Chain A
Amino acid sequence: MIWAALFIYLSSLLGGSPVLTGEWLIKDSKNQFKEVIQDKERSKNAMGVLDKMIRDAKDFNRESGKDKKELEKLMKDYRSTRGDFNQLFAEIQEKREALTASILDRIPNLKKNIPPEEWAKAFKNEMTP
């Protein structure tokens, strides 16, 4: 019970925003846009950009699994120090920032293929994170 209370909270703080690195991007974004993009060519291009963003996010999540194992070790080790934890958090943050930057860099390319009215339509019935 104590393990769950400590580990679940801590490990959930290691990921990025569900909007850009998790739930929304991986699960919902392609379906949301696919439904509203009228032109086949633009749709193909937009899906290509989203595929790259999703691939990056999935790579990050895979890495994140390893980081959680490291966190688990530190938590169980009675001798671990605050410095050990902070070093791990800093490494994760660096990876998260790199991923976020790469995703943000791709957004203009995505918007090039989706005009404002289709963008608005795609988010009309979207679920909140």
Chain B
Amino acid sequence: MKTTNTEFKCKIKPWTARLILLLGMILFLTACASKTKVQEGDAANLRAKWTKAVSKVIKDPERAEKLIALGVQYEEGNQALFSEIKNINQEIMNINRNYDSTQGDYERALGKFTKKKNEALQQCLDALFAMREQTTPEEWKTLLR
């Protein structure tokens, strides 16, 4: 096997290696670019969704725009927090899977879970009150119907 590997290594010419490296870089950059496009697409979709819902109810463009921006920001922030909560849940599942886990192991992970959830709850409340501030009682009622 050793001989074969050495022979194989000798057969790769420097220009072939450079070509492989270049192709690898192109693939890597393409992957990064598509990811950014997807993220941009997500933000645009969110914005379109919020614009459609808000502009029907709030006729004042300035307040409507503020509410739309808050809504998009809120959903983006939530996506990140929910992904962190999902990871902690995975951690709890791993603790549960391990027969030797102690009550302390569960309690530590559940403590982290509660802390992150409380952080998310406060973030949701911040958004809720900031959004509500941009509306009249009637508009709020219609938006939350």
Chain A residues proximal to chain B, CB less than 8 Å: 1-3, 5-6, 9-10, 13, 17-20, 24, 75-76, 78, 82, 85-86, 89, 93, 96-97, 100, 104, 107-108, 111, 116, 119-120, 123, 126, 128-129
Judge whether A76 and B118 touch: CB under 8 Å.
no
Question: In whole angstroms, what is the CA distance A100 to B114 when docked?
Answer: 11
Question: In whole angstroms, what is the CA distance A85 to B74 when docked?
Answer: 18
Judge whether B92 and A78 touch: CB under 8 Å.
no
Per-residue interface assignment for chain B, residues 39 to 62, with 1 indicating a CB less than 8 Å from any chain A CB and 0 otherwise: 000000000011011100000000
Judge whether B124 and A76 touch: CB under 8 Å.
no
Cβ-defined partner of B92 (8 Å) among A19, A96, A97 = A19
Judge whether A5 and B74 touch: CB under 8 Å.
yes
Per-residue interface assignment for chain B, residues 98 to 138, with 1 indicating a CB less than 8 Å from any chain A CB and 0 otherwise: 01100100110010011001101100110111011000010
Measured between beta carbons, the chain B residues less than 8 angstroms from A82 are: 125, 129
Judge whether A129 and B141 touch: CB under 8 Å.
no
Judge whether A19 and B114 touch: CB under 8 Å.
no
Question: In whole angstroms, what is the CA distance A76 to B143 when docked?
Answer: 9
Which interface class (under 10, 10 to 19, 20 to 34, 35 or more) fits B? 35 or more
Judge whether A89 and B118 touch: CB under 8 Å.
yes
* 19 interchain pairs, CB-CB under 8 A: A2-B50, A2-B144, A3-B144, A5-B75, A6-B124, A13-B124, A19-B89, A20-B92, A75-B128, A75-B144, A76-B141, A78-B132, A78-B141, A108-B103, A123-B96, A126-B93, A126-B97, A129-B89, A129-B90
Question: In whole angstroms, what is the CA distance A123 to B6 when docked?
Answer: 44
Judge whether B137 and A78 touch: CB under 8 Å.
yes
Additional A-B contact list (6), CB under 8 Å, known A10-B124, A89-B118? A2-B71, A17-B89, A17-B92, A82-B129, A86-B125, A123-B96
In the complex formed, the residue of A with least CB distance to B89 is: A129
Chain B residues proximal to chain A, CB less than 8 Å: 49-50, 52-54, 71, 74-75, 78, 82, 86, 88-90, 92-93, 96-97, 99-100, 103, 106-107, 110, 113-114, 117-118, 120-121, 124-125, 127-129, 131-132, 137, 140-141, 143-145
Question: In whole angstroms, what is the CA distance A97 to B53 when docked?
Answer: 38
Within the complex, what minimum Cβ distance (angstroms) separates B55 from chain A?
Answer: 12
Judge whether B53 and A93 touch: CB under 8 Å.
no
Within the complex, what minimum Cβ distance (angstroms) separates A89 from chain B?
Answer: 6
Judge whether B93 and A104 touch: CB under 8 Å.
no
Question: In whole angstroms, what is the CA distance A75 to B50 when docked?
Answer: 18
Within the complex, what minimum Cβ distance (angstroms) separates B141 from chain A?
Answer: 7
